[in-house]
C-alpha cells in the first residue's frame, strides 16, 4: 500500500536541481531555480504475515492547485481538495533531473535501519524537510549530501594532485621512512631475546639500531609461564 502526503513548508523556497546520471556523472544545475512551497512524500507500507514494514520511496517538490470545498451556512459539505499539477522531477534519456536534497532523504531512511513505524518515518522526514526549508529562509542553506561529496572529492584531488609522494612529502613520518629506506638500518652486533630482557626488573633500554633485531619469545618470560593465578 502506498501512502502519499502533501507537506506545506510555509513559504516559497528555492529548489536547487541536479542531473543524476550513472553514465555521465552527476552535477548541480545552474540557477535560477524554481520556487516551491509544497512537497509530495511517497511511503510504501508492506505487510508480511504479522510483520509490517514501511519503505521510503521518494520526495518531490510539486506545484499544486487547491479546489475550495463546499459550505452551506456554517456547515462544511465537502472539504478542500488539492491536486498536484507539476512534479519538479523529470527524466531525459539517461539523465534524471531531481531535487538536490532527494538523496539526503534516502540516506536518512537507510540510516534508520528500517525499524520505524509509518508515523515515526513520516515525522523524521518532515523534520528534515522543515530544517532544510528554515535554512533557506535564513539565507544559509544546509549543504546536501551531494555537495558534501563534491567537497570531499575536491579535497582528495588537491591532496593527491602531485601523486602519493607529493601528498605525504611534508609528513614527518614519511620523511623518516624515506631516510630509513635510503640509509638502511645499521644492525647491531648482537640480538636481544625475551629471556635477557626479563632477567632484569625495571625498564629495558634499547637503542634504535637494535630495535629491528628485537625478537621476543613469550615462552621465555617466566611471569607468563606461571598460571597459578587461574586458581582464584
pLDDT score recorded for residue 230: 58
pLDDT of residue 161: 73
Residues 98 and 20: beta-carbon distance below 8 Å:
yes
Would you state the pLDDT for residue 48? 82
Alpha-carbon dihedral sign for residues 5, 6, 10, 16: positive
What local confidence, expressed as pLDDT, does residue 59 receive?
Answer: 95
Query: Is residue 19 helix, strand or coil?
Result: strand
Domain ranges of the chain: 2-142, 143-184, 194-231
Q: What is the pLDDT of residue 81?
A: 78
pLDDT at 40: 96
Q: Classify residue 214 by its DSSP letter.
A: B
Per-residue pLDDT of the chain (232 residues; tens, 9 = 90+): 899 999 999 999 999 999 887 777 788 989 899 999 999 999 999 888 888 889 999 999 999 988 776 666 676 666 777 888 999 988 877 778 899 999 999 999 998 877 889 999 999 999 999 999 999 999 999 999 999 988 888 887 787 776 666 656 666 655 555 555 555 544 545 555 555 555 555 555 556 556 555 555 556 555 555 666 555 5
Query: Tell me, what's the pLDDT at 171?
Result: 60
For residue 96, the model assigns a pLDDT of 81
Is residue 39 within 8 A of residue 60, CB to CB? The reply is yes
116 vs 130: CA distance, rounded Å: 19
Predicted pLDDT of residue 154: 84
How far lies 8's CA from each of 41, 61, 85, 157, 197, in Å?
A: 11, 10, 15, 40, 74
Query: Is pTM, for the whole model, over 0.95?
Result: no
Residue pair 61/88 in contact by the 8 Å Cβ criterion: yes
Amino acid at each position: 500500500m502506498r501512502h502519499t502526503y502533501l507537506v506545506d513548508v510555509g513559504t516559497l523556497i528555492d529548489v536547487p536541481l541536479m542531473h543524476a546520471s550513472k553514465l555521465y556523472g552527476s552535477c548541480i544545475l545552474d540557477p535560477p531555480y524554481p520556487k516551491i512551497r509544497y512537497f509530495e512524500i511517497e511511503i510504501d507500507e508492506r505487510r508480511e504475515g504479522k510483520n509490517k514494514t514501511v519503505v521510503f520511496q521518494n520526495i518531490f517538490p510539486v506545484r499544486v492547485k487547491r479546489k475550495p470545498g463546499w459550505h452551506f451556512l456554517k456547515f462544511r459539505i465537502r472539504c478542500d481538495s488539492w491536486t498536484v499539477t507539476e512534479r519538479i522531477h523529470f527524466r531525459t534519456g539517461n539523465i534524471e533531473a531531481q531535487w538536490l536534497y532527494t538523496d539526503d532523504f534516502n540516506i536518512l531512511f537507510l540510516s534508520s535501519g528500517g525499524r520505524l513505524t509509518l508515523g515515526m518515518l513520516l515525522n523524521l522526514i518532515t523534520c528534515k524537510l522543515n530544517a532544510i526549508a528554515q535554512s533557506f529562509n535564513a539565507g544559509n542553506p544546509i549543504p546536501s549530501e551531494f555537495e558534501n561529496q563534491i567537497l570531499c572529492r575536491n579535497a582528495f584531488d588537491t591532496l593527491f594532485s602531485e601523486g602519493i609522494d607529493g601528498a605525504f612529502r611534508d609528513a614527518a613520518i614519511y620523511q623518516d621512512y624515506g631516510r630509513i629506506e635510503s640509509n638502511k638500518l645499521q644492525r647491531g652486533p648482537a640480538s636481544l631475546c625475551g629471556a635477557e630482557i626479563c632477567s632484569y626488573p625495571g625498564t629495558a633500554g634499547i637503542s634504535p639500531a637494535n630495535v629491528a633485531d628485537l625478537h621476543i619469545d613469550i615462552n621465555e618470560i617466566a611471569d607468563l609461564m606461571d598460571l597459578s593465578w587461574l586458581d582464584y
